[in-house]
Each structure stands twice: as C-alpha cells, then as structure tokens.
Amino acid sequence: MNCTALKRASANHFLRSELTMSSRCLPRRRLRKAVTRRIEVRFSAPVDWFVVNARDARWVDNDKFGAYTTFQPEGERFEQVGINISVLRPGQPMALYHAEEDQEGFLVLSGTAKLLVEEEERPLQQWDYVHCPPWTKHVLVGAGDGPCVVLAVGARQHKGLVYPVSALAQRHEAGAESEHRRGAEGEAGENPYRPYPEDRATSSPL
C-alpha cells in the first residue's frame, strides 16, 4: 500500500500518532521491533493480551512533536482505545491544535506543560490531569527547563477530527494554517502534517 492510499487516519495521538499511522504513511510500521526478555506478546485476533515495559516499547522521535510510544505491536492497531506516552522538550507541541469526536485524557507524569484548550492557555504541572470531552479543541506543549512526560488516552469509537485555525495555537507554533477535517463532513485542504519532519526510530527516552 502506498502513501497516497494510506493518507493520515487520525491525528495525532491517536492524536498525531494515529493520524500518522493511517494517513501520513510515516515509517512507524517499519520500525525495528524491540527484542527483550521483558516483553511477552501473543497474537490472535486482532491484538491479544500482552505485557510490555514502556522502556522496552517501540519509540519514535520527531524534531517537531517530540518522542512517543503507542504501545502497539508493529503493524497492529488497538481498536477501541489508543494510549501513548509522549516526551516533549520545551516548546514542542504534542500535535497540532485539534478536536476529535471521541473523548481524550492527558496526565502529566513529570515536568511541566502548557495546555491550549478552547482558545485559552493554562499551565500544567506533574500529576495534573486534563479531561477533553468530544470536540474539545486542545493541544499540550512542553514547557519549563526540561522534558515533560505525558500519558495520553483516547477512545476510537468515531472518526471525526478537525484542525481549526487558531491564533493562540499558531503563536505556539502548534496550529494549522488552514482548517482541515476528517469524517462525515469530508476533508478540507491538504494534510496539515505534510510540512513537518517524519518520525524516526529511537530508543526510549525514559
């Protein structure tokens, strides 16, 4: 399957991470598979139970959007819930400012971040949790003097996704230049992630 057939399925994280898997054709599917005594994976249909330490999972890094792991086995996708850990350097957005048709949640595990939500900005510190109901416009941006580690969880019941134009997000270099949509209303414009670097395999930053 070529990149044209595989154009971005879900942003980011499931945000950008899911978006990248199905709509941008990034090299995530070709990343090396971690081989370690600490990982057990049994495949049946479609993804069976498994145990993996976050440090042993497959990680990718992106100069624009930081490092992250989705915990998904190579070539597989969790059907109902997406989960990832992102490590953001100061000023790095986790994705582009967007809203999804499903609920999402974010927990700051360490460091500090800025939350851009519904055209408002507020600081986040360790153990702050962000609840985003469906269609909440949001993005997290790394802050402070060091890396920020964020756990993100999102449902996958629906496919609706929009990247609105936001002056606030653009000031943080985390906003699309023109509106993009996916879902029942169709798509508008080009892939918003097209101008940015591709992901590359990396070791765990944890």
pLDDT at 24 over 90: no
Mean pLDDT of all residues in 124-139:
98
pLDDT at 33: 37
Contact 29, 206 (CB under 8 A): no
pLDDT at 40 over 80: no
Domain range annotation of the chain:
12-202
Distances (CA, A) of 35 to 43, 46, 99: 16, 21, 36
Q: What is the CA radius of gyration of the chain?
A: 16
pLDDT at 28 over 80: no
53: left (phi over 0), alpha (psi -120 to 50) or beta: beta
pLDDT at 26 over 80: no
pLDDT at 183: 60
Contact 101, 158 (CB under 8 A): yes
Task: Tell me the two tokens of residue 95.
Answer: 């994705």
pLDDT digits (tens, 9 = 90+) for 142-201: 999 999 999 999 999 998 999 999 999 999 999 999 999 886 555 555 688 988 999 999
pTM of the model: 0.77
pLDDT at 194: 87
Closest CA to 10 of 180, 189, 172: 180
Instruction: Look at the alpha carbons of 78, 82, 88, 91 in this order and tell me if their dihedral is positive or negative.
Output: positive
Q: From CA 59, how far away is CA 170, in angstroms rounded?
A: 27
pLDDT at 8 over 80: no
pLDDT at 189: 57
Closest CA to 19 of 191, 201, 195, 202: 191
pLDDT at 12 over 50: no
pLDDT digits (tens, 9 = 90+) for 42-94: 444 568 899 999 999 999 999 999 999 999 998 899 999 999 999 999 999 99
Superfamily of segment(s) 12-202: Jelly Rolls (2.60.120.10)
Tokens 């992901």 belong to which residue? 199
Judged on CB neighbours under 10 Å (0-12, 13-18, 19+), 181 is middle
Residue of 191 and 10 predicted with greater confidence: 191
pLDDT at 56: 97
Q: From CA 124, how far away is CA 142, in angstroms rounded?
A: 9
Residue of 88 and 39 predicted with greater confidence: 88
Task: Tell me the two tokens of residue 14.
Answer: 């499931």
Contact 25, 193 (CB under 8 A): no
Task: Tell me the two tokens of residue 199.
Answer: 């992901």
Task: Tell me the two tokens of residue 190.
Answer: 């080009």
